[in-house]
Structure 1
Amino acid sequence: MSDNLIPAIRGALHALRPAERKVAAVVLAELDFAAGASIRELAARAGVSEPSVTRFSRAVGCGSLRQFKRRLSHSLAAGVPYQAVTIDKRDGAALLVHKVCDSIAAALDEMRERTDPAALDEAAALIAGARRVCCIGVGPGCAAVAQEACLRLQRLDIAASAHSDGESQRLAAGLLGAQDALLAISLSGCSAEIADCARIARRQGARTIALTAAGTPLSRDADVPLLLPPSSAATPYSPGVAQLMQLALADMLAIAVALRQQPAVLEKARRAAVGLERAPSAPAPGTVRA
């Protein structure tokens, strides 16, 4: 377990009981309050019983609430988690550069600590052995990541497709079979469209991989969950690190798949990439090639 308790709490969300998850939500939303609150205050703020607070402390690796508060205080002293980075409209350009870069670096460090290698390996094996892979995402961020994941897989000579609207997603999911895989991308993990497509795919016998946050319905229902830290609410001044984290995980997955490919397949993909680089550009309108 990481010395920083904050990533450990996020990583444990999917395994917590409902009451314990309520405590975790309060802690992550109000770190300073949680570090100094009594068991009665924390239980009241979360709307749970005091024993639930004690069970939560033990679930995240602390023997008591006192130990939990001590570790949380040390974590806060060591550094501010990326979701809590505050950018003020009065910040100058130089400070803005530092804050955004620090936020991205902290997010990627947290990913390195909490990404499950076994889940990544299982997802890569599933995709490498699939007849075809359907990548889906809703909303500008997740749809773009689904498209990027699709392109990365296509470069490995994998029959992949990407869909971002509900109708085409449901159609594509309905065409999957027992030899296929669905890669569902949803940061919130609560998208009705994505959940519907995952149900359709499973009904057809396809395996599902979810790129989503821990503790979400999608993470619990997927055959292989690839988990991201929960994202804070976006504001005009908050760094948009969530999509970068999704792209990083999509890169990890594609590279893990490539490592499983046969040399002949990789050579074929290499020749295709070289051919694309050497392809002549289209002539400008009104010009004629000699």
Structure 2
Amino acid sequence: MPSPQQARAQASAITAGGTAPAQDASPTSRLRELFEGPGLSPAHRRIAQYLIEHLTEAAFLSITDLAERVGVSQPSVTRFAGAVGFSGYPALRERLQSLALGSLGNGVPSAPAEQRGNELQAAVDAEIENLENLRRDLTDPGRVIEVGRALSRSAPLTVLGLRISVSLAEYFAYAARRIHPDVRLVTRGGSVAYDALLQSREAGGTWLLAFSLPRHARETLTALRVARGAGLRVALVTDLALGPLAEEAEEVFATGTGSRLVFDSYAAPGIVAAALLQAMTDADPERTQARLEEYERIAEEHHFFLQD
């Protein structure tokens, strides 16, 4: 009889189709697509990120107010509008308002202030919104499937997460080792990371999966550049679709993090990690089943787990 994990591996395979009605990409994803094309200056990236994170509020700000909120000059906002393809700030704001009003119409209606509960409940509500946006983004799972296949074929497969991102990288690597023969985890920066990345490439690895969550470590950017220079392709799970980290990755999975509490929460990035694991599982089902069977045999022999 297959173990529960083996049964789940078979039952939860990702399919490219589906019976659910097609959904538009989330407003934040549409903004990221709008802004990611041109090579933006650091000031312009700050404006773009502010608009992505505060769409429903920022869409109705004057150019003066937006410049003040972001900490840039009014001419910078005007130049930003031109850089992303608009005739000026009024045209950009009209587009922002359309997206903002659409998100209000398609999402869960906001509860009145007296019904929103306490700060902990507000933090949960914010994560629910992140998950709703991610759900819309995953209407077409094709990119997750393709990247999962690529990660499955990379031997060794290197997983990178520094500072606050260590926990998610460790989760992914722990699970990936059940279905992949050679997973290498890098959680220290500097020359230690560089050695691991170079050795992975020399051993035949083709992909690096990196996690970078707020606050983003400068050493992560350097590590991605080292990986690219060595010939590794990079898939990045992050909250920022714009900026220097995203520019160093072939594939970027950008999704929101919870920022209502003193430390961020990572429900949506955790789902992305689990989805990529599922895609790896689907990519080589025979290897997956063989490795899971062997692991279950060893776990039972050595009594790894309590009997539920």
**Which interval holds the TM-score relative to the shorter structure?**
0.7 to 0.9
Residue matched to 1:154: 177
**CA offset at residue 76 of structure 1?**
4.6
Which residue of 42, 46, 60 corresponds with 1:36?
A: 60
RMSD (CA atoms): 3.9
Q: 1:70 to 1:174 in 2, by over 3 A?
A: closer
Pair 1:205-2:231 in alignment? yes
Q: Please name the residue that 2:295 is paired with.
A: 273
- State the match for 2:3 in structure 1: none
> AA paired with 2:251?
V
Counterpart of 1:228 (choices 230, 255, 259) is 255
Secondary structure of the residue aligned to 2:158 is: strand
Aligned-partner SS, 2:81: helix
Are 1:137 and 2:161 matched, yes or no? yes
Query: CA 1:210–1:81 in 2, change beyond 3 Å: closer, same or farther?
Result: farther
CA separation of 1:108/1:51 partners in 2, compared to 1, >3 Å: closer, same or farther? same
Which residue does 1:53 correspond to in 2? 81
In the comparison of the two structures, how many residue pairs are matched?
268
Q: CA contact under 8 A between 1:57 and 1:63: conserved in structure 2? A: no
Instruction: Describe the superposition over 1:234-271 as per-residue Cα deviations: whole angstroms up to 9, x where unpaired.
Output: 642x7x43x222221111111111111042x1231221
How far off is 1:273 after superposition?
Answer: 3.2
Say whether residues 1:172 and 2:196 are aligned partners: yes
The residue number in structure 2 matching 1:65 is 93
Q: In the alignment, residue 145 of structure 1 is paired with which amino acid? A: L
The separation in 1 between residues aligned to 2:169 and 2:243, in whole angstroms, is 19
Q: Which runs of 5+ in 1 are unaligned?
A: 283-290
CA distance in 2, matches of 1:63, 1:120: 34
Question: 2:185 is paired with a residue of what secondary structure?
Answer: strand
Deviation sequence 1:197-220 (CA, Å, 0-9, x none): 223333332222222221131211
Q: Distance in 2 between matches of 1:109 and 1:30?
A: 16
**How many angstroms does 1:191 deviate by?**
2.6
TM-score, with normalisation over the residues of structure 2?
A: 0.70
TM-score by length of 1: 0.73
Tell me what 1:5 maps to: 27
Matches of 2:148 and 2:196, distance apart in 1: 21
| Cα 1:280/1:143, change in 2 over 3 Å | same
Q: Secondary structure at the match of 1:218?
A: helix
Give 1:7 shift. Answer: 4.4
Amino acid at match of 1:9: L
Identify which range, 38-47 or 204-213, moves more after superposition.
Answer: 38-47
CA distance in 1, matches of 2:29, 2:108: 11
Percent sequence identity is: 17
* Greater relative contact order, per chain length (Cα 8 Å cut-off, separation 6+): 2
Cα deviation for residue 164 of structure 1 reads 1.1
